[in-house]
Structures are given as structure tokens and as C-alpha cells.
């Protein structure tokens, strides 16, 4: 098959007469390759961290939460009855949650106490898998503490904790004393926001701490498709609204709010998305710098090939064919740079732990597992990220031929043929 003239001439210029390949061309492609590889590795790590955080959010918590607007409690049975038979709902569990205060060693420490039903909780979350010491609190007056919070409190399994809540301080007709809870276990989720503030107790214990006689604050639901919870949340709102309209005694359903795990963790998810996007934009600058070497190479080639360009024009070749040659030169170098860069980036991403272990020979504290709380560095290369990187680099590489192409198009055949 006969190649288009511009592409044929581009391959001819990339292969010098005295060797199989141009050293300058190889160095240019290596620059593009390294830029693409770095982009893919960084995006893979950012995607891996994003996946791990989302997994932890859903494993410890529910997909959807139904609670009263404000800070009230309500009976869960009518809500469950209204949602009974809804397709896509797998399990439900009640909880009571609020802020508590502890004063170890004279210091004030605030935390979040969550009361759960241990049996129903097994269908919602996998909190038992995060226990590092002791057991999940099954009895009254016991509590499990997140590891970083336990470190801050200086507490261990078997120790006593005096827990205050705003409801415990003063009620309408009496002053309530704080609750003394026994630490039954310590757990670690691997997320600082959770490990530094969460405590888990049984539902009756939490009700005692928050001066509640009955009811729940939140009904936590598990659905079959956790990444399509927005649609399911809309269905739940519609069901509750229909139940409130059908029977006046359930009119309080209108004060219920339905939130997905994405709504609850919106701040962290937005932070992760912004970090990934900013990292992508900054690293695109590396690829732009790498493609600048393509421009330098093509400008040098344009000067060296001035006589040939003048001869081609004199023989009747159009400016479009000459200009297309330089754009093809940039594109060809970009294609090979992207191919090798993607291969290198995917290999590094797949063997990231081995690469980090090698680099730790020179810097032992590099990406310390103790700091990041991951035994293995999370990494996942997506097709969309790879395609985005390749498209951007290809655009940069192709446009790198614009300046030498413009110079070649302005050449007059007579002046070019007289060029020494």
C-alpha cells in the first residue's frame, strides 16, 4: 500500500542516511515516553487511593441513611414498613449517633459515638473485619474505640472511659451523670477522619449516653448497586412521600431526609477529585515540556532540509504537502512516545510496590506504609485515564510541528535552492 506523500517523507526524515535511527529522534521520543509514563503512574495511584477510600466508606457505613431533619429520633418500624418490598434494598440496621466528650488526664477530647445493633449491623457493614484488638461491643456499657482515638486517649482494651454528652449534662427535670464504659476492642479503618474520632457501642448503651428512651436517629440501608444510589435515594423519597400523603399518622415522614454515602462523604470525595484533577493538570506541564523537544528537533530539521524543501516546491509539491510533513513528523514521534510510555506506565503501576522497595534502598522513609496505613500501595490504571493522557500528548506533539511547518510554507523555491 502506498503511503501518503507527507507520511512517507516524515518517515524518510526520521531515518538518517548513515544509521538505522536518529539519536535525536530517540531522545525526543524518550522524553515523551517518560512524560506519558509519569502521568499514567500518578493517575493510577490517585485512582487507587480513591477506590480504597470509597471501599472503606462503604464497608464501615451504609449506602443510604434515613434520618430526621435536625437532631431528633423516630421509630424505625413504620419507615421499614413503608419501604418493605422495594427492589434493590438488601438490608437495614438502626443506629444512634452523636458527639461525646471525654477528659483523660485533664484534657478534653471529643469523639463520635455510634450505637448499633450488632446482629443487624452484620448485614450493613463489615466493621468486625477492622477489629485489631478485642471484640465488637455486644454487651451493654462496653465500647470499641478507633485506634488513633485510643492513642489520643491513652486507653487499651479493658480500660474504663467516662463519656459525657450534651444530653447527659442537664435534662428537663434532673442532672444526669456521665456513663462509664469499658473498652471491649480497638479497630482501624485506615482513614484518618474515621480512626481519629469514631467509637462504637451497642444501641442500648448509646441510648443511655444520649438520654434516649427509645427510637433511632438513623436508619441505615444497604442497596445492590452502591454506585447508583442517587436513583435509589429518589425512589425512597417518593415512597415515603406517598406514605405520608396516604395516611395522616405518617405525616412526619415528610421531615425525614435521605442521604447517600456520596452525600455524607462529599467533602472527602470532592477533595480526592480536586487533588486528582490538579495533579493531572500539573503533570500535563511535564508532557508539554517534553513535546517542546519535538519542536526544537523539527526546527533544526527544517533548517537542515531547506534545500530539499525548495526542490520539492520547484517540482510542484504544494505547501499543504510540505506543511503536512512536519505535522506528521510530530505525530509519529508522539505515537511511538505514547505507545512506549503507556507500556512503561502500566508496568510501573502493576509493580509499584517492587519499585518503591527498590527506591527505599536510597530513601527508607519514602511513602512509608506506617504513615499511609496501606500494606500495599493502591494503584489502578483505567482506560479513560490512559486515553486522556495519550490524546493530550498527541495534540501537543502534533502542534509541535506548527512553527517549523509555518517556516517551511513561507520558503520561496528560489531562495531555498540558493541556501548554503
Check pLDDT > 80 for residue 3.
no
* Least confident range of 5-9, 97-101, 111-115: 5-9
Residue pointed to by grid coordinates 448499633: 116
pLDDT of residue 297: 78
pLDDT digits (tens, 9 = 90+) for 331-359: 888 888 899 999 999 999 888 888 878 87
Please tell me the pTM assigned to this model. Answer: 0.72
Q: What percent of the chain has pLDDT over 90?
A: 5
**Grid cell digits, residue 339:** 505507545
Which long-range contacts (C-beta less than 8 Å, at least 24 apart) are formed by 306-311? 306/411, 306/416, 306/419, 307/416, 307/417, 307/419, 309/408, 309/411, 309/416, 310/411, 310/412, 310/413, 310/414, 310/415, 310/416, 310/417, 310/419, 311/413, 311/416, 311/417
Radius of gyration of the chain (CA): 32
> 134-155 in b/e burial notation, b at 16+ Cβ within 10 A?
bebbeeebbbbbbbbbbebbeb
**Grid cell digits, residue 265:** 462523604
For residues 116 and 143, the answer to whether their CB atoms sit within 8 Å is no
pLDDT of residue 143: 92
How many Å apart are CA 256 and CA 157, to the nearest integer?
38
Give mean pLDDT, residues 63-75: 83
- Sort 393 into a burial class: Cβ within 10 Å, 0-12 / 13-18 / 19+: buried
How many Å apart are CA 83 and CA 397, to the nearest integer?
56
For residues 221 and 65, the answer to whether their CB atoms sit within 8 Å is yes
* Least confident range of 40-49, 143-152, 282-291: 282-291
pLDDT digits (tens, 9 = 90+) for 167-180: 665 555 666 678 88
Check pLDDT > 70 for residue 401.
yes
How many Å apart are CA 55 and CA 265, to the nearest integer?
12
pLDDT digits (tens, 9 = 90+) for 227-254: 888 888 899 898 888 888 888 888 888 8
Give mean pLDDT, residues 89-94: 87
Check pLDDT > 60 for residue 407.
yes
Under the banding of pLDDT at 50, 70 and 90, the label for residue 418 is low
pLDDT digits (tens, 9 = 90+) for 182-201: 899 999 887 777 888 899 99
**Grid cell digits, residue 240:** 415515603
Which H or E run includes 402? helix 402-410
For residues 44 and 380, the answer to whether their CB atoms sit within 8 Å is yes
* Least confident range of 29-38, 85-94, 403-412: 403-412
How many Å apart are CA 154 and CA 132, to the nearest integer?
16
For residues 140 and 205, the answer to whether their CB atoms sit within 8 Å is yes
Amino acid at each position: 500500500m502506498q503511503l501518503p506523500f507527507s507520511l512517507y517523507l516524515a518517515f524518510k526524515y526520521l531515518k538518517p542516511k548513515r544509521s538505522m535511527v536518529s539519536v535525536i529522534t530517540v531522545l525526543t521520543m524518550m522524553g515523551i515516553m517518560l512524560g506519558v509514563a509519569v502521568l499514567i503512574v500518578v493517575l493510577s495511584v490517585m485512582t487507587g487511593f480513591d477506590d480504597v477510600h470509597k471501599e472503606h466508606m462503604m464497608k464501615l457505613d451504609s449506602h443510604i441513611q434515613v434520618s430526621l431533619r435536625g437532631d431528633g429520633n423516630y421509630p424505625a418500624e413504620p419507615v421499614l414498613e413503608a419501604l418493605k418490598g422495594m427492589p434493590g434494598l438488601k438490608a437495614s440496621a438502626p443506629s444512634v449517633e452523636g458527639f461525646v466528650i471525654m477528659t483523660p488526664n485533664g484534657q478534653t477530647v471529643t469523639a463520635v459515638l455510634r450505637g448499633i445493633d450488632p446482629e443487624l449491623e452484620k448485614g450493613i457493614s463489615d466493621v468486625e473485619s477492622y477489629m485489631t484488638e478485642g471484640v465488637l461491643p455486644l454487651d451493654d456499657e462496653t465500647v470499641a474505640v478507633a485506634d488513633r482515638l485510643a492513642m489520643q486517649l491513652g486507653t487499651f482494651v479493658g480500660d474504663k472511659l467516662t463519656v459525657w454528652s450534651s444530653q447527659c449534662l442537664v435534662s428537663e427535670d434532673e442532672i444526669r451523670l456521665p456513663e462509664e464504659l469499658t473498652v471491649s476492642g480497638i479497630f482501624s479503618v485506615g482513614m484518618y477522619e474515621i480512626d481519629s474520632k469514631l467509637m462504637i457501642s451497642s444501641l442500648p448503651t448509646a441510648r443511655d449516653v444520649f438520654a434516649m428512651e427509645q427510637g433511632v436517629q438513623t436508619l441505615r440501608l444497604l442497596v445492590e448497586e452502591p454506585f447508583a444510589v442517587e436513583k435509589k435515594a429518589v425512589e425512597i423519597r417518593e415512597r415515603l412521600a406517598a406514605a405520608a400523603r396516604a395516611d395522616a399518622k405518617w405525616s412526619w415522614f415528610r421531615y425525614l431526609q435521605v442521604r447517600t454515602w456520596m452525600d455524607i462523604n462529599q467533602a472527602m470525595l470532592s477533595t480526592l477529585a480536586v487533588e486528582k484533577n490538579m495533579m493531572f493538570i500539573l503533570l500535563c506541564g511535564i508532557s508539554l515540556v517534553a513535546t517542546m523537544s519535538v519542536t526544537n528537533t523539527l526546527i533544526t530539521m527544517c533548517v537542515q532540509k531547506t534545500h530539499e524543501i525548495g526542490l520539492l516546491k520547484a517540482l510542484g509539491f504544494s505547501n499543504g504537502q510540505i506543511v503536512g510533513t512536519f505535522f506528521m513528523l510530530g505525530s509519529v514521534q508522539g505515537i511511538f512516545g505514547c505507545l512506549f510510555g503507556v507500556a512503561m506506565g502500566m508496568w510501573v503501576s502493576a509493580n509499584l510496590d517492587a519499585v518503591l522497595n527498590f527506591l527505599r534502598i536510597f530513601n527508607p522513609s519514602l511513602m512509608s506504609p506506617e504513615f499511609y496505613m496501606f500494606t500495599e500501595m493502591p494503584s489502578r490504571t483505567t482506560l479513560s485515564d490512559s486515553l486522556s493522557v495519550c490524546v493530550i500528548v498527541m495534540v501537543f506533539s502534533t502542534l509541535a510541528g506548527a512553527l517549523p511547518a509555518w517556516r517551511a510554507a513561507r520558503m520561496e523555491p528560489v531562495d531555498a535552492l540558493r541556501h548554503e
